Amino acid sequence: MSDHFERLMVLVRHGQSEGNAGDIFTGWDDPGLSHRGFIEAEYAARAIGNTRFDIAFTSCLTRAQETLRQILNEIGQNDVRIIQSANLNERHYGELAGITKQEARSLWGEDRVKAWQRSYASAPPGGESLRDTLARVVPYYITTILPHLLRGENAIVVAHGNSLRALIMALEGIDRHRIATIEIPTGSVFSYQMNADGTIEKGAIDLDGDV
């Protein structure tokens, strides 16, 4: 990726966590990266290449913070200012947190668990829906991340599958039915070139590397 962009926002889902490796619903639980997760962070850095960042954003969860630190170290930008916020945290999975997906299906049934995982408005007991997640992610993006982009800065955001799904849903105007089909694998890297009015240009910028 070239370094000449302005108003570029690079989004990264954290590398595989120990929870992902165990097929566990994690949510706000706080495992670190697995060995594979650190490798995925290295691949993400390779994809990002020599783009210069002015600001970095991440959640309050270890797996996202470790991914961001690994990326910044790999691309030689450890001096970038990092802002952490729980608004970028993964969905809160309530009673699902800490149990395997197979255990959840045994307790509540496959259809119900699938709806909790993928749908827009359905929330697990004691947890958040994607709609609830969007309600904290998007205002944070508008009030805290977007102003940096409008000043011509480049930002990297390292977060989670559902917090990024919520942000992408808002940015691209994806409806509640289509969002259920979108999944963001661990270590994924994609970017948005922002216009001066805060809208996004059509299509993502191609990334170098193999992620």
Average pLDDT over residues 146-167: 97
Average pLDDT over residues 55-73: 98
Q: Is 164 helix (H, G, I), strand (E, B) or coil?
A: helix
Give the C-alpha distances (Å, rounded to integers) separating 169 from 4, 26, 34, 134, 174: 27, 22, 28, 8, 5
Percentage of residues of the chain with pLDDT beyond 70? 93
- Residue 180 in domain: yes
Which residues are identified as catalytic?
14, 90
Q: Strand locations in 16-175, DSSP E?
A: 55-58, 81-84, 155-159
DSSP state of 111: H
Spell out the residues 6+ positions from residue 51 whose beta carbon is closer than 8 angstroms to its own. 1, 2, 3, 5, 8, 10, 75, 154
Spell out the residues 6+ positions from residue 130 whose beta carbon is closer than 8 angstroms to its own. 91, 119, 120, 121, 162, 165, 166, 169, 179
pLDDT band at residue 204 using 50, 70 and 90 as cut-offs? low
Read off the pTM.
Answer: 0.93
- Residue 201 in domain: no
- Give yes or no for a contact between 55 and 148, defined as CB atoms under 8 angstroms apart: yes
- Tell me the residue range of the domain where 147 lies: 8-193
Average pLDDT over residues 70-99: 97
Cα–chain center distance at 64: 8
| Mean of per-residue pLDDT scores for the chain | 93
Average pLDDT over residues 63-72: 98
Query: What is the per-residue pLDDT for 201?
Result: 83
- Give yes or no for a contact between 3 and 48, defined as CB atoms under 8 angstroms apart: no
71's tokens: 């990326």
Average pLDDT over residues 192-201: 92
- Residue 81 in domain: yes
Largest CA distance in the chain: 52
The enclosing domain of 43 has a CATH number of 3.40.50.1240
- Number of Cβ within 10 Å of residue 208's Cβ equals 13
Average pLDDT over residues 69-75: 98
pLDDT band at residue 207 using 50, 70 and 90 as cut-offs? very low
Query: What is the per-residue pLDDT for 5?
Result: 74
Q: Is the pLDDT of residue 202 over 90?
A: no
Of 33, 140, 29, nearest in space to 93 by CA = 29
Query: What is the per-residue pLDDT for 203?
Result: 54
Give dist(CA 94, CA 28) in Å, integer: 9
Average pLDDT over residues 168-176: 93
- Residue 75 in domain: yes
Indicate the number of domains in the chain.
1
- Residue 203 in domain: no
- Residue 210 in domain: no
- Residue 171 in domain: yes
Average pLDDT over residues 119-141: 97
Give dist(CA 7, CA 146) in Å, integer: 9
pLDDT band at residue 4 using 50, 70 and 90 as cut-offs? low
Q: Judging by beta carbons within 10 Å of its beta carbon (0-12, 13-18, 19+), is residue 164 exposed, middle or buried?
A: buried
183's tokens: 């999944």
- Residue 100 in domain: yes
